[in-house]
């Protein structure tokens, strides 16, 4: 039986190799966002929202006030972001995320608008 940490470590090494070969690109910020706001912490939970997002929680609050960080499945870097979070868990490392918006993407009125919607992130060595 293959150990889960070995799988995550393999995925993580592949992820690091991909990142190392990608040139730095400065994106145009979405309307209404003045700058990317960085949040860092330990991952305390992960799950896939049934509609559109990969969600992970950190042990610290983001700039939107909540501990939940959302990665949109329609973004080009979705798979890399999932791999990054799982690698950080397996390696017991912190992650950093760049928050670009706040909100309640589900539209459920019983949820608050404190979700941190992110564009990209990194593992803290």
Show me where the domains of the chain are located: 4-23+34-124
pTM, two decimals, is 0.71
- Give the three-state DSSP class for 86: helix
pLDDT digits (tens, 9 = 90+) for 20-76: 443 333 334 444 445 678 999 999 999 988 888 999 999 999 998 899 999 999 999
Return d(Cα 84, Cα 79) in angstroms, integer.
9
Say which residue the tokens 């995925």 belong to: 11
In the sheet that holds 43-48, the strands lie side by side as 37-41, 94-103, 115-124, 68-72, 53-58, 43-48
pLDDT digits (tens, 9 = 90+) for 82-123: 999 999 999 999 999 999 988 887 777 777 888 999 999 999
Sign, CA dihedral 8-11-14-15, equals: negative
Return d(Cα 33, Cα 26) in angstroms, integer.
15
Provide DSSP, 7-61: HHHHHHHHHHHHHHTSPP-PPPPPTT--S-EEEEE-EEEEEE-SSSEEEEEESS-
Phi-psi label, residue 91: left if phi above 0, alpha if psi -120 to 50, beta otherwise: alpha
User: Out of 2.40.50.340, 2.60.40.10, 3.40.50.300, 3.30.420.40, which CATH number does the structure's domain 4-23+34-124 have?
Assistant: 2.40.50.340
- Pick from 85, 76, 29, 30: nearest CA to 54: 85
């Amino acid at each position: 039986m293959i150990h889960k940490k070995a799988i995550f470590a393999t995925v993580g090494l592949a992820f690091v190799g991909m990142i190392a070969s990608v040139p730095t690109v400065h994106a145009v910020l979405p309307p209404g966002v003045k700058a990317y706001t960085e949040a860092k912490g330990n991952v305390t939970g992960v799950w896939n929202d049934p509609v559109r997002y990969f969600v992970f929680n950190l042990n610290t609050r983001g700039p939107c006030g909540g501990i939940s960080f959302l990665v949109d499945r329609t973004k080009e870097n979705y798979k890399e972001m999932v791999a990054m979070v799982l690698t950080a868990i397996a390696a017991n490392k912190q992650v950093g995320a760049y928050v670009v918006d706040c909100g309640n993407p589900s539209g459920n009125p019983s949820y608050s608008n404190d979700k941190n919607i992110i564009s990209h992130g990194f593992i803290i060595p």
